[in-house]
Chain A
Amino acid sequence: MSKLAYEVAIVGSGLAGIAAACKLAEYGVKVVVMDENIHIGGQFLRRCPTTRKASFTDVMDLMRKKGFKLITLAKEKNVAIMNRTKVLAISDQNELLVEDNEKKISTIRPQIILLATGARERFLPFKGWTLPGVFSTGAIQSLVKSFGVLPSREIFVGGSGPFLFTVAWELLQQRGRVMSIIEQKHLMDSLPPSGLLFFNASRFLQSACQIARIVFARVPVRYATKIVEARGRYRLEQVVTSKVDRLGRAVPGTEKIYSSEALAVGHGFTPNIELAQVAGCEIESDTTKGGWVVRVDQTLETSVENVFAAGEITGIGGAPKSLNEGNIAALSILRRLGKEVEKSVFSRHQKKRERLLCFARYFNSLHMSSDEIIKAIPDETLICRCENVTIKEINMAIQQGHNTLGALRKALRIGMGNCQGRICTPIVRDLIHIHAKATKEEDNEILPASTRIPVKPLAIKSLLD
């Protein structure tokens, strides 16, 4: 068991984590950054060493450039980096239990912990979404960007939100063929309010460049269209789509069938709060932030002393918010460690954060599925992929009074499988909420199910070695 004297341990090496690490290292703080992935940088900063090519739009992407600079800087400043490292638990003495890249278990006891565990995707399930060949947009992005591998030469992209376009653009950049982009929202509902355009011009310009590339490649973009079904015997063969009306209900007679071997789906993001839960941090529910988020104060400290949180886990907001919060958290941690920090720097970041949070609300609204579209999911659709529970079973159980996540877990085993509910919980939460609205009990806060150690499955072999 190694007990290196780190002053700060950061969980997650995305923009928030890496930005905080750099800032702390600048002040001579001993920092370790841990990440479960093979490459550090999180979802946003993926880059394949063998296939990288700079293009016009890539150069436009200032945020990514900044991020890669930070990774280089972190290495120069001797930030300790542990990739392929799972944090399994945080004890009440703020001690972290980790499994490293050699599957060895050790403990780290820093003075301060920064949780920057990011977000995962959320999905609106459809028939056949468990077929091999149906991937999350994030999975496709990671395959293409980190490893230079396409899931198939032709890829169908569908779901909701701007990330669909980002992934499609990245596929095109890497010589993949995007068959079509299917966006369930209506075009009019996707346009940003003009006030936001002004403050986030670079972001919209970047989106515009991506869309221009997509149009140039003659990729059909279909708004107000949803994926109805994925079909295939052993793996994906066909994708069925349908037009939807303004409420999200399928328009009869508009079904179309496409042949496809790979489908990328995504319907927005939800924070990875599980480690924070185990650390004892208070969680709050806010749909405009992407669901359950870790509650933080102005300095980004959680309800647990000396545990800070930054980035997507305090509310989905994209790369600029993560970068900003990484900096704020670092400044707060420096203060806690007794270092001199200029007040003006702190307040400048704070002001910026407020602007970014406004943008985040709009961003999250792009991903929200209407109640009608959720209600239209057919009965036999699997919701819990691990325990094979259908939407019909869940709705019936909710109606019988199992109207909390804890109760549904007991009644149906939903969320008791390997993923511990990480994939199905957002949609189950929506189902509970829809039922609560119908029965006029919507004021009851829906709480996440409890999380216990180990936060991620742990091989017994590792534990015994």
Chain B
Amino acid sequence: MAGLRISPIPKKDKVRLVVNGREVVACRGESVLAALIASGYVKLRIAPGSGEGRGAFCGMGVCYDCLVTINGRPNERACMAQVEDGMEIAIDE
């Protein structure tokens, strides 16, 4: 899904992430959540209790619905984490 970025990522700011083994291009300095959404990843996890799919909701570190695994650290908030080149992200699919 292209076109969710308001302006293209400047060349010098391009970083590469790996989401569930697939390469994703992100913009230096942005949140992991922004990178995921810009690449079309909206559903991020399966809620343990209900088995429902969940994605980011509050977007400001409060609700803990955007939990993903970042570089092997499980249950990190995508909205509060900042992208880094080579970062590995795992989400529930």
Contacts and interface: CB of A to CB of B under 8 A. Distances in A.
Interface of A: 36-38, 43, 48-51, 84, 101, 120-121, 130-136, 138-144, 146-153, 174-175, 234-235, 385-388, 417-419, 422-423, 456-457, 459, 461
B29 A49 contact: yes
A463 to B, nearest CB: 13
Interface in B17-63: 27, 29-31, 33-34, 37-38, 42-44, 47, 49-50, 52-63
A84 B57 contact: no
Interface in B50-81: 50, 52-65, 67, 73, 75-76, 79-80
A387 to B, nearest CB: 6
A38 B82 contact: yes
Contacts of A51: 6-7
Contact of A84 (B33, B75, B80): B80
Given A139-B79, A419-B64, A149 B50 contact: no
A423 B49 CA distance: 17
A385 B57 contact: yes
A-B pairs with lowest CB-CB distance, top 6: A139-B59, A132-B55, A418-B64, A147-B34, A132-B43, A148-B6
Given A150-B4, A152-B4, A422 B62 contact: yes
Contacts of B10: 50
Contacts of B31: 38, 146-147
A135 B57 CA distance: 4
B58 A120 contact: yes
A143 B60 contact: no
Contacts of B42: 132-133, 151, 235
Interface residues of B, number: 43
A36 B61 contact: yes
A15 B18 CA distance: 36
Contact of A422 (B6, B56, B63, B79): B63
A149 B5 contact: yes
B6 A174 contact: yes
State the main secondary structure of chain A at its contact with B. loop
B29 A139 contact: no
A120 B55 contact: no
Contact of A139 (B7, B38, B52, B57): B57
Contact of B53 (A84, A234, A388): A234
Contacts of A385: 47, 54, 57, 63, 65
Contacts, number: 137
Contact of B5 (A84, A136, A148, A386): A148
A235 B53 contact: yes
A138 B49 contact: no
Contacts of B27: 50, 147-148
A423 B6 contact: no
B80 A423 contact: no
Contacts of A141: 59
B60 A50 contact: no
A459 B61 CA distance: 14
Contacts of B80: 36-38, 84
A215 B33 CA distance: 31
Given A38-B31, A38-B82, A423-B63, A153 B57 contact: no
A121 B60 CA distance: 10
A38 B61 CA distance: 11
A138 B58 contact: yes
B58 A148 contact: no
Contact of B57 (A134, A143, A150, A459): A134
Which of A36, A51, A121, A139 gathers the greatest number of chain B CB atoms within 10 Å? A139
Contacts of B34: 143, 146-147, 149
Contacts of B73: 459, 461
Nearest to A101: B82
